[in-house]
Amino acid sequence: MTSRTTHTHRLIAVGLVAGLALSACGGGGFDDEEGSTSQSSGDGPVKLKMLIASSGDAETAAVEAATKKWADETGNTVTVTVASDMPQQLAQGFASGSPADVFYLDAAAFPNYAQNGSLYAYGDEMADSSDFYEPLKETFTYDDTFYCAPKDFSTLALEINTAAWSKAGLTDADLPTTWDELAAVSKKLTTGDQVGLGLSTGIDRVGAFVVQNGGWWLNDDNTEATASDPAVEEALTYVQDNVKAGNFAFANQLDAGWGGEAFGTGKAAMTIEGNWIKGAMLNDYPDVKYTTVPLPEGSAGEGTLAFTQCWGVAADSSAQAQAVDLIDALTDVEQQMAFADAFGVMPSRTSAAATYEEKYPEDAAFIAGGDFGHGPISAPGMEQVVADINSKLESLGSADLPSVLEDFDTNANAVLGK
Protein backbone atom coordinates (compact mmCIF):
# COMPACT_ATOMS: atom_id res chain seq x y z
CA MET A 1 0.00 0.00 0.00
CA THR A 2 0.90 3.61 -0.29
CA SER A 3 3.11 5.14 2.35
CA ARG A 4 3.47 8.83 3.04
CA THR A 5 3.46 10.07 -0.55
CA THR A 6 0.05 11.50 -1.32
CA HIS A 7 -2.47 9.28 -3.01
CA THR A 8 -3.41 12.09 -5.34
CA HIS A 9 -0.07 12.09 -7.08
CA ARG A 10 0.26 8.32 -7.13
CA LEU A 11 -3.18 7.68 -8.55
CA ILE A 12 -2.74 10.28 -11.27
CA ALA A 13 0.62 8.85 -12.24
CA VAL A 14 -0.77 5.32 -12.41
CA GLY A 15 -3.64 6.33 -14.62
CA LEU A 16 -1.66 8.59 -16.90
CA VAL A 17 1.01 6.03 -17.68
CA ALA A 18 -1.50 3.23 -18.08
CA GLY A 19 -3.75 5.28 -20.32
CA LEU A 20 -0.92 6.29 -22.60
CA ALA A 21 0.88 2.99 -22.75
CA LEU A 22 -2.10 0.75 -23.32
CA SER A 23 -2.39 1.94 -26.89
CA ALA A 24 1.34 1.68 -27.55
CA CYS A 25 3.05 -1.04 -29.51
CA GLY A 26 6.35 -2.68 -28.71
CA GLY A 27 8.09 -2.55 -25.36
CA GLY A 28 8.71 -5.39 -22.96
CA GLY A 29 7.43 -4.78 -19.47
CA PHE A 30 7.72 -8.44 -18.45
CA ASP A 31 9.74 -10.34 -21.00
CA ASP A 32 11.62 -13.49 -20.02
CA GLU A 33 13.19 -16.40 -21.84
CA GLU A 34 9.79 -17.80 -22.76
CA GLY A 35 8.73 -14.44 -24.19
CA SER A 36 5.05 -14.94 -23.36
CA THR A 37 2.63 -15.55 -20.55
CA SER A 38 3.03 -18.69 -18.48
CA GLN A 39 2.90 -22.00 -20.22
CA SER A 40 0.36 -24.62 -19.17
CA SER A 41 0.39 -28.23 -20.28
CA GLY A 42 -2.99 -29.68 -19.44
CA ASP A 43 -3.32 -30.22 -15.72
CA GLY A 44 0.43 -30.29 -15.12
CA PRO A 45 2.55 -27.76 -13.20
CA VAL A 46 2.72 -24.21 -14.53
CA LYS A 47 5.18 -21.35 -14.17
CA LEU A 48 3.35 -18.22 -13.08
CA LYS A 49 4.83 -14.74 -13.38
CA MET A 50 3.87 -12.12 -10.81
CA LEU A 51 4.56 -8.38 -10.93
CA ILE A 52 4.26 -6.33 -7.74
CA ALA A 53 4.96 -2.80 -6.55
CA SER A 54 6.58 -3.32 -3.18
CA SER A 55 6.76 -0.87 -0.29
CA GLY A 56 10.05 -2.40 0.81
CA ASP A 57 11.94 -5.53 1.76
CA ALA A 58 9.31 -6.64 4.28
CA GLU A 59 6.53 -6.69 1.69
CA THR A 60 8.70 -8.38 -0.92
CA ALA A 61 9.76 -11.11 1.50
CA ALA A 62 6.19 -11.68 2.66
CA VAL A 63 4.84 -12.04 -0.88
CA GLU A 64 7.70 -14.33 -1.89
CA ALA A 65 7.14 -16.52 1.17
CA ALA A 66 3.39 -16.75 0.53
CA THR A 67 3.78 -17.62 -3.14
CA LYS A 68 6.48 -20.19 -2.35
CA LYS A 69 4.18 -21.86 0.18
CA TRP A 70 1.44 -22.16 -2.45
CA ALA A 71 3.93 -23.35 -5.09
CA ASP A 72 5.32 -26.03 -2.78
CA GLU A 73 1.81 -27.27 -1.99
CA THR A 74 0.64 -27.36 -5.61
CA GLY A 75 3.78 -28.24 -7.54
CA ASN A 76 3.66 -25.01 -9.52
CA THR A 77 6.26 -22.25 -9.74
CA VAL A 78 5.82 -18.52 -9.10
CA THR A 79 8.41 -15.95 -10.11
CA VAL A 80 7.89 -12.66 -8.28
CA THR A 81 9.28 -9.52 -9.90
CA VAL A 82 9.36 -6.21 -8.04
CA ALA A 83 8.66 -3.36 -10.46
CA SER A 84 10.82 -0.26 -10.35
CA ASP A 85 8.03 1.62 -12.16
CA MET A 86 4.82 -0.36 -11.77
CA PRO A 87 2.49 1.64 -14.04
CA GLN A 88 5.01 1.70 -16.86
CA GLN A 89 6.09 -1.93 -16.60
CA LEU A 90 2.54 -3.21 -16.29
CA ALA A 91 1.40 -1.21 -19.31
CA GLN A 92 4.44 -2.24 -21.34
CA GLY A 93 3.83 -5.89 -20.55
CA PHE A 94 0.32 -5.68 -21.99
CA ALA A 95 1.42 -3.59 -24.97
CA SER A 96 4.10 -6.15 -25.87
CA GLY A 97 1.77 -9.13 -25.47
CA SER A 98 3.76 -10.49 -22.54
CA PRO A 99 1.99 -9.41 -19.35
CA ALA A 100 2.52 -11.02 -15.98
CA ASP A 101 -0.06 -13.65 -15.12
CA VAL A 102 -0.78 -12.06 -11.73
CA PHE A 103 -0.09 -8.46 -10.73
CA TYR A 104 -0.94 -5.62 -8.39
CA LEU A 105 -3.52 -3.36 -10.02
CA ASP A 106 -4.36 0.02 -8.53
CA ALA A 107 -7.99 1.03 -8.24
CA ALA A 108 -7.48 4.17 -10.32
CA ALA A 109 -5.92 2.21 -13.20
CA PHE A 110 -8.43 -0.64 -13.07
CA PRO A 111 -11.17 0.88 -15.30
CA ASN A 112 -8.75 1.42 -18.20
CA TYR A 113 -7.59 -2.19 -18.15
CA ALA A 114 -11.09 -3.57 -17.67
CA GLN A 115 -12.46 -1.51 -20.55
CA ASN A 116 -9.87 -2.64 -23.09
CA GLY A 117 -10.17 -6.34 -22.30
CA SER A 118 -6.78 -6.83 -20.66
CA LEU A 119 -8.19 -8.45 -17.53
CA TYR A 120 -9.59 -11.87 -16.77
CA ALA A 121 -12.76 -11.37 -14.73
CA TYR A 122 -12.44 -14.00 -12.05
CA GLY A 123 -13.99 -12.21 -9.06
CA ASP A 124 -17.06 -14.40 -8.74
CA GLU A 125 -14.91 -17.53 -8.98
CA MET A 126 -13.22 -16.66 -5.70
CA ALA A 127 -13.82 -18.71 -2.59
CA ASP A 128 -16.23 -16.73 -0.39
CA SER A 129 -16.19 -13.73 -2.73
CA SER A 130 -19.04 -12.20 -0.71
CA ASP A 131 -16.64 -11.92 2.24
CA PHE A 132 -14.77 -9.00 0.66
CA TYR A 133 -15.89 -5.56 1.82
CA GLU A 134 -18.67 -4.47 -0.51
CA PRO A 135 -17.17 -1.01 -1.27
CA LEU A 136 -13.93 -2.73 -2.31
CA LYS A 137 -15.82 -5.13 -4.56
CA GLU A 138 -17.62 -2.18 -6.13
CA THR A 139 -14.27 -0.52 -6.81
CA PHE A 140 -13.23 -3.50 -8.91
CA THR A 141 -16.55 -3.96 -10.67
CA TYR A 142 -16.89 -2.81 -14.27
CA ASP A 143 -20.05 -3.18 -16.38
CA ASP A 144 -21.63 -5.07 -13.48
CA THR A 145 -18.81 -7.64 -13.47
CA PHE A 146 -16.62 -8.19 -10.40
CA TYR A 147 -13.17 -8.54 -11.95
CA CYS A 148 -10.51 -9.01 -9.31
CA ALA A 149 -10.03 -9.59 -5.60
CA PRO A 150 -9.00 -6.60 -3.47
CA LYS A 151 -5.74 -7.59 -1.81
CA ASP A 152 -5.91 -5.08 1.08
CA PHE A 153 -7.05 -1.51 1.69
CA SER A 154 -6.58 1.78 3.51
CA THR A 155 -9.09 4.39 4.66
CA LEU A 156 -8.89 7.93 6.00
CA ALA A 157 -9.34 8.84 9.67
CA LEU A 158 -8.60 11.84 11.89
CA GLU A 159 -5.22 11.95 13.65
CA ILE A 160 -4.92 14.19 16.74
CA ASN A 161 -1.73 15.36 18.48
CA THR A 162 -2.53 14.50 22.09
CA ALA A 163 -0.17 17.08 23.59
CA ALA A 164 -1.69 19.89 21.51
CA TRP A 165 -5.16 18.62 22.38
CA SER A 166 -4.49 18.73 26.12
CA LYS A 167 -2.74 22.09 25.90
CA ALA A 168 -5.87 23.55 24.28
CA GLY A 169 -7.92 22.34 27.24
CA LEU A 170 -9.72 19.68 25.24
CA THR A 171 -10.74 16.26 26.56
CA ASP A 172 -12.21 13.04 25.18
CA ALA A 173 -15.61 14.64 25.49
CA ASP A 174 -14.55 17.12 22.80
CA LEU A 175 -13.62 14.55 20.14
CA PRO A 176 -15.42 15.85 17.05
CA THR A 177 -18.28 13.81 15.66
CA THR A 178 -19.83 16.50 13.44
CA TRP A 179 -18.53 19.14 11.06
CA ASP A 180 -19.46 21.91 13.48
CA GLU A 181 -17.49 20.22 16.22
CA LEU A 182 -14.51 19.71 13.92
CA ALA A 183 -14.49 23.42 13.08
CA ALA A 184 -14.79 24.32 16.77
CA VAL A 185 -11.89 22.17 17.97
CA SER A 186 -9.78 23.23 14.99
CA LYS A 187 -10.26 26.84 16.01
CA LYS A 188 -9.22 26.06 19.60
CA LEU A 189 -6.14 24.18 18.40
CA THR A 190 -4.98 26.95 16.09
CA THR A 191 -2.12 29.06 17.46
CA GLY A 192 0.43 31.43 15.98
CA ASP A 193 2.60 28.61 14.65
CA GLN A 194 0.11 25.75 14.41
CA VAL A 195 -3.11 25.28 12.43
CA GLY A 196 -5.92 23.19 13.84
CA LEU A 197 -6.27 20.85 10.85
CA GLY A 198 -3.66 20.34 8.13
CA LEU A 199 -4.69 18.57 4.93
CA SER A 200 -3.02 17.13 1.87
CA THR A 201 -4.36 18.76 -1.28
CA GLY A 202 -6.72 17.26 -3.85
CA ILE A 203 -9.86 15.21 -4.03
CA ASP A 204 -8.23 12.26 -2.27
CA ARG A 205 -8.63 14.17 0.99
CA VAL A 206 -11.42 16.74 0.60
CA GLY A 207 -13.41 14.04 -1.17
CA ALA A 208 -14.09 12.53 2.25
CA PHE A 209 -16.19 15.59 3.10
CA VAL A 210 -18.02 15.19 -0.20
CA VAL A 211 -18.95 11.61 0.69
CA GLN A 212 -20.05 12.63 4.19
CA ASN A 213 -22.40 15.15 2.61
CA GLY A 214 -23.92 12.59 0.26
CA GLY A 215 -22.19 13.75 -2.91
CA TRP A 216 -19.70 12.35 -5.42
CA TRP A 217 -17.98 13.39 -8.61
CA LEU A 218 -19.83 10.89 -10.84
CA ASN A 219 -23.24 9.25 -10.64
CA ASP A 220 -23.65 5.72 -9.30
CA ASP A 221 -23.00 3.96 -12.60
CA ASN A 222 -20.14 6.30 -13.58
CA THR A 223 -21.88 7.51 -16.72
CA GLU A 224 -22.35 11.20 -15.90
CA ALA A 225 -20.47 13.87 -13.94
CA THR A 226 -22.17 15.20 -10.81
CA ALA A 227 -19.66 17.64 -9.31
CA SER A 228 -22.10 20.53 -9.70
CA ASP A 229 -24.54 18.81 -7.37
CA PRO A 230 -25.20 21.04 -4.33
CA ALA A 231 -23.95 18.28 -2.00
CA VAL A 232 -20.47 18.54 -3.53
CA GLU A 233 -20.32 22.33 -3.47
CA GLU A 234 -21.61 22.46 0.12
CA ALA A 235 -18.88 20.08 1.28
CA LEU A 236 -16.09 22.00 -0.43
CA THR A 237 -17.53 25.30 0.79
CA TYR A 238 -17.30 23.98 4.37
CA VAL A 239 -13.60 23.25 3.87
CA GLN A 240 -13.06 26.56 2.07
CA ASP A 241 -14.74 28.56 4.83
CA ASN A 242 -12.49 26.96 7.45
CA VAL A 243 -9.40 27.62 5.36
CA LYS A 244 -10.40 31.27 5.08
CA ALA A 245 -11.02 31.39 8.85
CA GLY A 246 -7.56 29.97 9.51
CA ASN A 247 -8.82 26.78 11.18
CA PHE A 248 -7.75 24.51 8.30
CA ALA A 249 -4.75 24.75 5.98
CA PHE A 250 -3.34 22.67 3.17
CA ALA A 251 0.13 21.16 3.26
CA ASN A 252 1.37 23.48 0.53
CA GLN A 253 0.39 26.44 2.72
CA LEU A 254 2.39 24.96 5.59
CA ASP A 255 5.58 24.30 3.63
CA ALA A 256 4.97 20.56 3.91
CA GLY A 257 4.83 17.86 1.29
CA TRP A 258 1.71 16.18 2.70
CA GLY A 259 -0.61 16.29 5.67
CA GLY A 260 1.45 13.78 7.63
CA GLU A 261 4.53 15.97 7.41
CA ALA A 262 2.60 19.02 8.62
CA PHE A 263 1.27 16.90 11.48
CA GLY A 264 4.60 15.34 12.39
CA THR A 265 6.46 18.66 12.44
CA GLY A 266 3.83 20.29 14.64
CA LYS A 267 2.57 22.71 12.01
CA ALA A 268 -0.87 21.07 12.29
CA ALA A 269 -2.48 19.73 15.46
CA MET A 270 -4.67 17.36 13.44
CA THR A 271 -4.61 15.81 10.02
CA ILE A 272 -6.69 13.44 7.90
CA GLU A 273 -4.63 10.56 6.55
CA GLY A 274 -4.76 6.81 6.11
CA ASN A 275 -3.14 4.03 8.09
CA TRP A 276 0.07 4.47 6.12
CA ILE A 277 0.75 7.40 8.46
CA LYS A 278 1.74 4.93 11.19
CA GLY A 279 5.00 4.03 9.49
CA ALA A 280 5.83 7.66 8.76
CA MET A 281 5.22 8.74 12.33
CA LEU A 282 7.24 5.85 13.72
CA ASN A 283 10.16 6.43 11.39
CA ASP A 284 10.21 10.21 11.06
CA TYR A 285 8.45 11.59 14.12
CA PRO A 286 8.75 8.93 16.85
CA ASP A 287 8.36 11.44 19.68
CA VAL A 288 4.97 12.72 18.55
CA LYS A 289 2.14 11.13 20.52
CA TYR A 290 -1.19 10.97 18.77
CA THR A 291 -4.51 9.19 18.64
CA THR A 292 -6.67 8.23 15.67
CA VAL A 293 -10.46 8.60 15.67
CA PRO A 294 -13.18 8.27 13.00
CA LEU A 295 -13.84 11.22 10.72
CA PRO A 296 -16.75 13.41 11.84
CA GLU A 297 -20.09 12.69 10.20
CA GLY A 298 -21.67 15.01 7.68
CA SER A 299 -25.32 15.48 6.78
CA ALA A 300 -25.34 12.05 5.10
CA GLY A 301 -23.65 10.30 8.02
CA GLU A 302 -20.37 8.38 8.08
CA GLY A 303 -18.03 8.79 5.16
CA THR A 304 -14.42 8.17 4.26
CA LEU A 305 -12.33 7.30 1.22
CA ALA A 306 -10.97 3.82 0.54
CA PHE A 307 -7.70 3.16 -1.27
CA THR A 308 -7.02 -0.31 -2.58
CA GLN A 309 -5.39 -2.53 -5.15
CA CYS A 310 -6.51 -5.86 -6.51
CA TRP A 311 -4.79 -9.02 -7.64
CA GLY A 312 -5.12 -8.68 -11.40
CA VAL A 313 -5.01 -11.65 -13.76
CA ALA A 314 -4.16 -11.18 -17.42
CA ALA A 315 -6.81 -12.13 -19.96
CA ASP A 316 -3.97 -13.56 -22.08
CA SER A 317 -2.65 -15.81 -19.31
CA SER A 318 -2.72 -19.50 -20.21
CA ALA A 319 -2.75 -20.42 -16.53
CA GLN A 320 -5.81 -18.55 -15.30
CA ALA A 321 -7.14 -21.39 -13.16
CA GLN A 322 -3.85 -21.69 -11.32
CA ALA A 323 -3.61 -17.91 -10.97
CA VAL A 324 -7.02 -17.77 -9.33
CA ASP A 325 -6.10 -20.66 -7.04
CA LEU A 326 -2.99 -18.74 -5.99
CA ILE A 327 -5.04 -15.61 -5.30
CA ASP A 328 -7.47 -17.65 -3.21
CA ALA A 329 -4.49 -18.64 -1.07
CA LEU A 330 -3.13 -15.10 -0.89
CA THR A 331 -6.46 -13.67 0.24
CA ASP A 332 -7.53 -16.18 2.87
CA VAL A 333 -7.82 -14.72 6.37
CA GLU A 334 -4.71 -16.36 7.77
CA GLN A 335 -2.53 -15.14 4.91
CA GLN A 336 -4.02 -11.64 4.96
CA MET A 337 -3.22 -11.38 8.66
CA ALA A 338 0.31 -12.56 7.92
CA PHE A 339 0.62 -9.72 5.42
CA ALA A 340 -0.80 -7.29 7.99
CA ASP A 341 1.82 -8.38 10.51
CA ALA A 342 4.63 -8.21 7.97
CA PHE A 343 4.04 -4.82 6.36
CA GLY A 344 1.05 -3.10 7.94
CA VAL A 345 -1.80 -3.51 5.45
CA MET A 346 -5.43 -4.09 6.41
CA PRO A 347 -7.20 -7.31 5.28
CA SER A 348 -9.84 -6.93 2.59
CA ARG A 349 -12.05 -9.70 4.00
CA THR A 350 -14.71 -8.75 6.52
CA SER A 351 -14.15 -12.00 8.41
CA ALA A 352 -10.65 -10.78 9.31
CA ALA A 353 -11.82 -7.47 10.78
CA ALA A 354 -12.36 -8.63 14.36
CA THR A 355 -9.00 -10.39 14.48
CA TYR A 356 -7.25 -7.38 13.01
CA GLU A 357 -8.90 -4.90 15.36
CA GLU A 358 -8.14 -7.06 18.39
CA LYS A 359 -4.47 -7.22 17.41
CA TYR A 360 -4.23 -3.58 16.30
CA PRO A 361 -6.78 -1.65 18.39
CA GLU A 362 -5.18 1.67 17.43
CA ASP A 363 -6.43 1.03 13.88
CA ALA A 364 -10.10 0.64 14.84
CA ALA A 365 -11.10 3.85 13.05
CA PHE A 366 -9.36 2.73 9.86
CA ILE A 367 -10.75 -0.81 9.70
CA ALA A 368 -14.27 0.44 10.44
CA GLY A 369 -14.13 2.48 7.23
CA GLY A 370 -14.09 -0.69 5.19
CA ASP A 371 -17.86 -0.88 5.55
CA PHE A 372 -18.58 2.56 4.13
CA GLY A 373 -15.43 3.88 2.45
CA HIS A 374 -15.84 5.22 -1.10
CA GLY A 375 -13.35 4.18 -3.77
CA PRO A 376 -11.74 6.55 -6.30
CA ILE A 377 -13.32 7.92 -9.46
CA SER A 378 -13.90 4.72 -11.40
CA ALA A 379 -14.28 5.43 -15.10
CA PRO A 380 -11.81 4.97 -17.95
CA GLY A 381 -9.85 7.93 -19.27
CA MET A 382 -10.42 10.27 -16.33
CA GLU A 383 -6.78 10.86 -15.42
CA GLN A 384 -6.42 14.32 -16.98
CA VAL A 385 -9.79 15.41 -15.62
CA VAL A 386 -8.73 14.43 -12.10
CA ALA A 387 -5.36 16.10 -12.55
CA ASP A 388 -7.06 19.32 -13.60
CA ILE A 389 -9.40 19.57 -10.61
CA ASN A 390 -6.60 18.61 -8.22
CA SER A 391 -4.51 21.45 -9.62
CA LYS A 392 -7.35 23.91 -9.09
CA LEU A 393 -8.04 22.66 -5.57
CA GLU A 394 -4.47 23.37 -4.50
CA SER A 395 -5.76 26.91 -3.90
CA LEU A 396 -9.16 25.86 -2.57
CA GLY A 397 -9.23 28.73 -0.09
CA SER A 398 -9.56 31.26 -2.89
CA ALA A 399 -11.08 29.09 -5.61
CA ASP A 400 -14.29 29.95 -7.44
CA LEU A 401 -15.98 26.68 -6.53
CA PRO A 402 -18.98 26.83 -8.90
CA SER A 403 -16.59 27.43 -11.79
CA VAL A 404 -14.19 24.67 -10.71
CA LEU A 405 -17.00 22.15 -10.38
CA GLU A 406 -18.65 23.18 -13.63
CA ASP A 407 -15.32 22.73 -15.43
CA PHE A 408 -14.97 19.27 -13.92
CA ASP A 409 -18.41 18.27 -15.14
CA THR A 410 -17.72 19.62 -18.63
CA ASN A 411 -14.40 17.82 -18.90
CA ALA A 412 -15.63 14.60 -17.35
CA ASN A 413 -18.76 14.42 -19.50
CA ALA A 414 -16.62 14.89 -22.59
CA VAL A 415 -14.60 11.82 -21.59
CA LEU A 416 -17.78 9.91 -20.71
CA GLY A 417 -19.31 10.73 -24.09
CA LYS A 418 -21.99 13.08 -22.77
Q: What is the pLDDT of residues 348-361, one digit of tens each?
A: 999 999 999 999 99
Contacts 24+ apart (CB under 8 A), 187-191: 187/245, 187/247, 189/164, 189/165, 189/269, 189/270, 190/246, 190/247, 190/269
Question: What per-residue confidence (pLDDT) applies to 22?
Answer: 35
Amino acid at 167: K
Q: Dihedral (C-alpha) 291, 1, 209, 204: value to the nearest 10 degrees?
A: 130
Domains 7-154+309-374 and 155-305 share a fold: yes
- pLDDT beyond 60 at 24: no
pLDDT digits (tens, 9 = 90+) for 83-115: 999 999 999 999 999 999 999 999 999 999 999
What is the CB neighbour count within 10 angstroms for residue 197? 30
Query: What is the structure's pLDDT at 38?
Result: 53
In degrees to the nearest 10, what's the CA dihedral of 135, 137, 139, 143? -130
Strand locations in 56-106, DSSP E? 77-82, 102-106
Q: Please give the Cα distance from 47 to 39 (Å, whole number).
A: 6
Contact 109, 139 (CB under 8 A): no
Cα dihedral sign, 34-36-38-39? negative
203-212 helix and 230-245 helix, angle to the nearest 10 degrees: 120
Radius of gyration from C-alpha coordinates of the chain: 22
According to CATH, the topology of domain 7-154+309-374 is: D-Maltodextrin-Binding Protein; domain 2 (3.40.190)
Predicted confidence (pLDDT) at residue 12 exceeds the cutoff of 80: no
- For the chain, which residues make up each domain, given as ranges? 7-154+309-374, 155-305
Q: What is the pLDDT of residues 253-262, one digit of tens each?
A: 999 999 999 9
Question: Tens digit of pLDDT for each residue in 153-212?
Answer: 999 999 999 999 999 999 999 999 999 999 999 999 999 999 999 999 999 999 999 999
8 Å CB contact between 396 and 239: yes
Q: In angstroms, rounded to a whole number, what is the distance separating the alpha carbons of residues 290 and 112? A: 39
pLDDT tens, residue by residue, 33-88: 344 445 443 466 999 999 999 999 999 999 999 999 999 999 999 999 999 999 99
Of 177, 206, 193, 181, which Cα lies nearest the Cα of 246?
Answer: 193
Q: Which one, of 46, 65, 141, lies nearest residue 334 by Cα?
A: 65
Q: What are the beta bridge partners of residue 194?
A: 191
Q: Got the DSSP string for 7-61?
A: HHHHHHHHHHHHHHHTT-----TT--TT-SSPP--TTS--EEEEEE--SSHHHHH
Q: How far apart are the first and last CA of the chain?
A: 34
Distance, C-alpha 200 to centroid of its chain: 14
Domain 155-305: state its class: alpha beta
**Phi and psi angles of residue 42, each rounded to the nearest 5 degrees, phi first:** 60, -125
| Tens-place pLDDT, residues 316-330 | 999 999 999 999 999
The mean pLDDT of the chain is: 91
